[in-house]
Structures are given as C-alpha cells and as structure tokens.
Amino acid sequence: MHTISLLKKQEYDIHAITSKETAGLRDDVTWHTVDILDDEQVKAMCKKIQATYLLHLAWYDNPGDRMTSEKNIEWVEATLHLAREFAANGGERFVLGGSCTEYDWQFGYCSEERTPTKPQSIYGECKASVHKILEKYSRKIGLSYACGRIFFVYGPHEAENRLVAYAIRSLIMKKKANMSHGNQMRDYMHVADVADALVTLLVSDVNGAVNIGSGRAVKLREIVDLAAEKLDGLELLNYGPVESKFDSPLVMADITKLRDELGWAPEYDLENGINDTIEWWKNELIVTSV
C-alpha cells in the first residue's frame, strides 16, 4: 500500500494485483483478483492491462516456513512467467523485490558488485536464481530490469511475529517479550522508506541489483530497548531464551548505488521510525480489542 500511495502522487495509472476480494480496498486504483501462480490468469491479465512498468513484490511469505518451503520454487516459476508475459505485451520496465538473504552473510557488509551470492536458505537461493535469470533474459530481449534487494524492514502492517512488531505488541500489552541474545547487528529501515526507494528505482533507468537499506547497522537489542524505553517496559524484555536461526553477527547494506546512482536517502531515522510504529500498533490494538 505504501508504494501505491507514492505512485498515485506521481499520477500514474495504477493496476494492482490481489489474490483476495477487492472490497474495502482503495478505490482510486484498478484492482485485479489474480492468482499469480496460475499461468493462464497471468497471461490474460498482462494481455488486458498492457502495462509499461511492473513492480513485482509478491512472494510466498508465511513467517513459519518462508525460508525453507518448497513453495519458493513455485514462485520462481511464476515470476519468470510473469516477466515473459509482461514483456510480450509491451512492458518496458520490470523491477523485482529481492532480498538481502541472497548474499553470503559471512561477509557482513553486502555489496552488489563485490559480495558473493551464497544464500543460506531455499528462499534466498530462489530469489538469487530468479534475479540471475531475469538479468540475462532482459538483456536478450531489451527489457529494462532491476532488482531491489531489501534488507530488514519494520513499521506499520508488519507481521506480528516479526522482531520489532512482536516486541512492541508485547510491550503495549505489558507481556514478557522473549528474544535471542540481541547482539546481532542488522540494517533496518522503516517500511515507508523501503517503499519510497523501490518506487524511485522503478521510475529510474538504473539496472541490475540495488541494495534497499539504510547503510547503517544497529544491534537488535538497541532497537528493542529503544521501543521499551518509550513504552516504559524495559523489565519486560527477556534476552536469550530464543534461538536465532541465522546468527551472523553483522548484515549491512552497501548503499553506494542507491545513494549515488538513484540519489536517494531515507526520511526516517530509527527514533522517528520506532515512534511511528508504536503509534500504529497502539491504534491497531485498540481497534482489534473492540
């Protein structure tokens, strides 16, 4: 929804895809109920819309098995089919939502040009593989193509079991928040900034992989402690009992390409971003509890 709002400000004619009913969705956008895993539905949609730009952020995202599920392979197939149908119907610019999990995390500092892509998960491998295929395919057919490799995101509408959302929800409800040791350093960015960077990439002529991150790594416990201080709940934090599946000490984006080639910079710092997220969850929990 963040990307839609930004594109509407630039007066694009937006066609958005959902797998659910369109009732209740914003009415200034043309909605299409399409199963992207269904080749015939995708073919018919691309023929009907004949879009110029395509921002593809959909993927299998069940928090419980996102990294390990074989459904990731289905999304590789679906993404490649979508790209081909888009191009066959006059599409000019395709931007894929990639992931920092494509990189070899033992290097810590992740550069598009220098850091190897050596994923630790099926999810990361599938994202890296589809990018490599699309990069070569787009060159062959003359399609403008880029991949925004998204690092760590927090903010409104985040799944409630993700780190920042889980911590803030627990603190608002005055419940214990059990976490890992929290000393891992990660590159987190507010969701509104992530959306803005992706839209900037979409309407640019920059090709290839582009890191979408802040270029700054912060200890996870610093992020959570900041939220706890604002909610007067430091005593509710319990570091240590949760095992971390990907315990690399540092994962941080090299944002040289994002900054210098796209001329982009984030609007939110960590404090403003956490404030915004806390306020959103307070309102959400009030609505949910009614």
pLDDT at position 290 over 50: no
pLDDT of res. 241: 87
Q: How does pLDDT run across 173-217, given as a tens digit for each residue?
A: 999 999 999 999 999 999 999 999 999 999 999 999 999 999 999
What one-letter code names the amino acid at 29? V
Q: Which single residue is written with the structure tokens 């395919």?
A: 137
Dihedral of the alpha carbons of 35, 39, 41, 43, in degrees to the nearest 10? 130
Beta strands in the chain (DSSP E): 15-18, 30-33, 53-56, 93-99, 109-110, 144-150, 152-154, 177-179, 185-186, 188-190, 208-212, 218-219, 237-239, 250-253
What is the pTM assigned to this prediction?
A: 0.94
Mean pLDDT value of segment 83-95: 98
**Mean pLDDT, range 229-241, rounded to an integer:** 96
Q: Judging by beta carbons within 10 Å of its beta carbon (0-12, 13-18, 19+), is residue 13 exposed, middle or buried?
A: exposed
Tell me the pLDDT tens digit for each residue of 23-35.
567 778 999 999 9
Could you tell me which residues come within 8 angstroms of residue 289 by beta carbon, excluding any fewer than 6 positions away? none
Region 47-59 average pLDDT: 97
Residue with tokens 């509710």: 236
Per-residue pLDDT reduced to its tens digit, 90-144: 999 999 999 999 999 999 999 999 999 999 999 999 999 999 999 999 999 999 9
Per-residue confidence band for 167, with pLDDT thresholds at 50, 70 and 90: very high
Nearest of 3, 122, 67 to residue 244 by alpha carbon? 67
